[in-house]
Amino acid sequence: MINSQRLAERFTMLAQIDSESRHEAQVAGEIEKILIGMGAVVRYDTAKEKTGGDCSNLVAKFAGNRQVRPLFLSGHMDTVVPGKGVNVTFADGVFKSDGTTILGSDDKSAIAIILEVMDVVKENNLPCPPVEIIFTVCEEIGLLGAKHFDLSLIDAKFGYILDSTDTEGIVTRAPAANKIFITMHGRAAHAGAAPEKGVSAIYAAARAISQLELGRIDSETTCNLGIITGGMATNIIPEKVEIKGEARSHDLEKLSAVTNNIVKAFAETARDLQGEDTVPRAETVVENDFPNTAIPEDHEAVVLARKAAGNLGRTLESKTIGGGADANVFFGQGIVAGVLGTGMTDVHTVNESIALKDMEDTARLVLEILQVHAAGDNA
């Protein structure tokens, strides 16, 4: 029942609309028109007031024709850079860009798939539960749309986000993450005339970093210092250096321990290097970026998806990943979202691609999920 030509044409149309983060209004307008044409009730929340973008999260509701609990389907409307002027090519069943931009299958493949599924339901008058669709903004720049999503706009307590690569898996575990901001203060001085009067913030920061274990700590935990900025000129002892990093773990105690170790290393290094005054001095701010996701194997979202896959002669394995998604934010707010794959590959690069067959397979899975849930037969 999936209309391959319509799916392909719609994905191409969506991918070729510019929608880098904070600039999703145009693509949202096109999506809104399609949804209203299907009979959905469409609303926006007020997220743009907090994200600084030109568009808020879009919510569409379909009443369904079966008296079962609602579920939601979700994807995000924004893309990474370079995402302006995307020119989609299609050959041998695979979509690509022309090589000068990303393709945008992350996550416009999700949007195209969800719209196709709802078209098929309407055209064939299929059994359908109440469906709530959430298309978020600013996912690529810190899950900002999900973080500022107005939960009062939905009734569903579980659903599926299409924002992964593996079409044979459902993501049930993802780590929590902390952002770590460190400022090391020193004292400026002329590096040639009076270096002894200065205290190098860069040197102090380097000493602290050299004590840290970075990268993969264990199978559940990683940490990284990704941005370092500081100094003004080669002939000035650097007065300040700023470091931005993160720590992630599926285990919250490990996350706390790794984070604290980073903070401690900078504080103790600064203290050890201090003379009679208060420099070098470390200031550290830790922010929770997103909570972890840990969906039990017997949760309805997992059981339902696996049954639907089985009906299609497929298997669906639970997956543990190291990245974050809107699902993490929703999980922290009591909303369970299994993350399904659409087949996108090499995302966030100009080599990004996606096969139409993978999109079709995901559409069939989502359609079957709706059918099984509408029947009330999730065992």
Active site residues: 78, 139
Q: What are phi and psi of 28, to 5 degrees?
A: -60, -40
Q: String of b and e for 37-69 (b: at least 16 CB within 10 Å)?
A: eeebebebbebbeebebebbbbbbbbebeeeee
247, 258 Cβ separation under 8 angstroms: yes
Tell me the H-state helices in the chain. 4-15, 25-38, 48-51, 105-124, 144-147, 201-209, 252-273, 300-311, 326-332, 356-375
Question: What would the two tokens of residue 132 be?
Answer: 């709530």
| CA angle at 366 for the pair 6 and 327, rounded to the nearest 5° | 115
CA nearest neighbour of 75 among 31, 122, 123:
31
CA nearest neighbour of 86 among 7, 138, 15, 28:
15
Region of 85 (left: φ > 0; alpha: ψ -120 to 50; beta: rest) is: left
CA nearest neighbour of 241 among 288, 280, 294:
280
Question: What would the two tokens of residue 49 be?
Answer: 């007031």
Q: How many CB atoms lie within 10 A of CB 78?
A: 29
Q: How far apart are the C-alpha atoms of 326 and 140, rounded to whole Å?
A: 10
Q: How far apart are the C-alpha atoms of 342 and 362, rounded to whole Å?
A: 6
- CA separation, residue 308 to residues 65, 282, 379 (Å): 19, 54, 11
